[in-house]
Amino acid sequence: MIWYAPSDLTATRGCFVPDDAATPEALMLGAAPSAAPERARAASPLAHVHSGAPPFLLVHGEQDTMVHCSHSQSLAAALDGVQAPVELRTVPGADHGWYGLPDAQVEEIFARTLAFARRIAA
């Protein structure tokens, strides 16, 4: 289960620019992703997609201003492309951290996520 996470640290997406050494991703890598391409690729879930991947639930706000929704869309497409089990749910009107959503809708996201975890654990 992944909520609004980056999947590719190697390419510009939305406001993320791999040349920026001040991003959380750069701090994790110890350098701007473009300055450490091997580390950026190794830290990118998109680079590790394989047919034996476990089931994924990806949930991402369509108006996410911190991590562009295309991260989850690309990861879902790659997983689907190797026939790995994946569910993608994009949430209209939601920013990062579910900002902009009413409490009832956030509770529904939590409930669906918990249902997914229970389903795959069974």
pLDDT in tens, 101-119: 999 999 999 999 999 999 9
Domains identified in the chain, total number: 1
Check residue 105 and give its pLDDT. 96
Which domain covers residue 84, as residue numbers? Answer: 2-121
Report the CATH number that the domain containing residue 92 is assigned in CATH: 3.40.50.1820
**What's the mean pLDDT when you consider all of the chain?**
96
Q: How does residue 122 score in pLDDT terms, banded at 50, 70 and 90?
A: confident
pTM of the model: 0.92
Query: What are 74-106's pLDDT values in tens digits?
Result: 999 999 999 999 999 999 999 999 998 999 999
Q: Which of 46, 40, 112 is nearest to 80 (CA)?
A: 46
Q: Which residues pair with 58 in a beta bridge?
A: 2, 88
